[in-house]
Amino acid sequence: MLKSILKNLSNIPGWRTNRKIVIIESDDWGSIRMPSNFVRETLETKYVSMGDQERQRYTKYDTLANEADFEALYETLTQFKDINGKHPVFTAVSVVANPDFDKIKEANFEKYFYEPFNTTLERYGHENTFKMWQEGKAQNLFVPQFHGREHLNVLVWMRQLRAKESSTMEAFKLNCWGFENKNKFNIDYQAAFDLELPSDVVDQKTVIQKGLEMFEQIHGYKADFFVPPNGPFNNKLEMTAALSGIKYMSTSKIQSEPQGQGIQKKRLHYLGQKNASGQLYITRNCFFEPSAPGKDWVSSCMNDIENAFKWGKPAVISSHRVNFIGGIVENNRTNSLAALTTLLTQIQTHWPNVEFMTSSDLGDVITKSRK
């Protein structure tokens, strides 16, 4: 009952519409995460923690997407069309780089190096996979937007490597960082913009600038929507992102803004809110994570969508890459896409006038409605 009340309350503030708009935001594309099942099993023999049940689905299933993953995803999405003749589309929230482990080791961990994610694809034997990214964009099925340069807190990770922290070193040997790490302020390596020290924000500005430059070089257009990895993000970075072309920011409705040294400030946000840099916030209100056990994700997400529409809100669905990856465990992809097919079928049955669009499309709709 309390969850239902809070969900209703959270959908009250902010921009409203009578249109039945559905967005699918899918995070983490381009990041290595778990290189292989062999790497995971090796780390377990070294007593490197894979974390709780939620984190373990990432270490069990989440790796670089291959051609088969994209083919299966696109086949699923093209089965459906909305009232405008458009297919469901993934706003593919993606990184543009991964660490260059060899160069970091050669520099004795004194300097950080990275490589473009399409170079990483080639390194892992996925030479033709980037063409699938481009095909998805051309068909408006899979539209990349910005998740950061890496899905990695570079400064925290490098400090732990220089300190020879055992689990971090064991994972590094296997080109991995996505385990249950521990450090002084409990900063997850995956949380690229969490702050260990207040001064780290200076380097993070460079990460955003360089990352957005790389995004344009790789994809051929500027990103205008930004989802900070794992959530933590100091708002001083918003202006940096705005100056590099970001018009729309994803944020939690209750943001815990890191200040450094474990200090956080709470901020309240709502859909369509404008920040000091003139960007609009886009908030998520629906969740679909079928690779996570113990829940009927189709029914749960349908309830989320119904609640959003009841309050005149678009349904902004959060659904991570891990759900649609079969490179380590093929059934993970198969089962999740079956659930996605059921979800999309039910959406169109319940709301025949549904409109599918990207997060940037939604931002444009909100902007135009206010002119």
Q: How would you write the chain as a 3-class SS string? A: CHHHHHHHHHCCCCCCCCCCEEEEEEEEECCCCCCCHHHHHHHHHCCCCCCCHHHHHHHHHCCCCCHHHHHHHHHHHCCCCCCCCCCCCEEEEECCEEECHHHHHHCCCCCCCEEEHHHHHHHCCCCCHHHHHHHHHHCCCEEEEECCCCCCCHHHHHHHHHCCCHHHHHHHHCCCCCCCCCCCCCCCCCCCCCCCCCCHHHHHHHHHHHHHHHHHHHHCCCCCEECCCCCCCCCCHHHHHHHCCCCEEECCCEEEEEEECCEEEEEECCCCCECCCCCEEECCCEECCCCCCCCCHHHHHHHHHHHHHHCCCCEEEECCHHHHCCCCCHHHHHHHHHHHHHHHHHHHHHCCCCEECCHHHHHHHHHHHCC
Mean per-residue pLDDT over the chain, rounded: 95
Mean pLDDT of 284-313: 97
Mean pLDDT of 144-159: 98
pLDDT digits (tens, 9 = 90+) for 107-139: 999 999 999 999 999 999 999 999 999 999 999
List, in order, residues 6 or more apart from 196 with CB less than 8 Å away.
153, 155, 156, 159, 183, 184, 185, 187, 260, 261
1 has a pLDDT exceeding 70 = no
Q: How many CB atoms lie within 10 A of CB 5?
A: 9
The HSE-up count of residue 4 (CA atoms within 13 Å, CB side) is 4
Query: CATH code at 316?
Result: 3.20.20.370
The HSE-up count of residue 238 (CA atoms within 13 Å, CB side) is 19
pLDDT digits (tens, 9 = 90+) for 225-279: 999 999 999 999 999 999 999 999 999 999 999 999 999 999 999 999 999 999 9
Q: pLDDT grade, residue 53 (50/70/90)?
A: confident
Predicted pLDDT at 12: 80
Structural domain span for residue 80? 2-369
Which pTM value belongs to this model? 0.96
Predicted pLDDT at 2: 61
Please state, for a pLDDT cut of 70, what percent of the chain lies above it.
99
Rounded alpha-carbon distances, angstroms, from residue 122 to 14, 39, 92, 117, 205: 44, 19, 20, 9, 28
Q: pLDDT grade, residue 103 (50/70/90)?
A: very high
Q: pLDDT grade, residue 6 (50/70/90)?
A: confident
Mean pLDDT of 219-224: 98
- Our count of domains for the chain comes to 1
Amino acid at 122: E
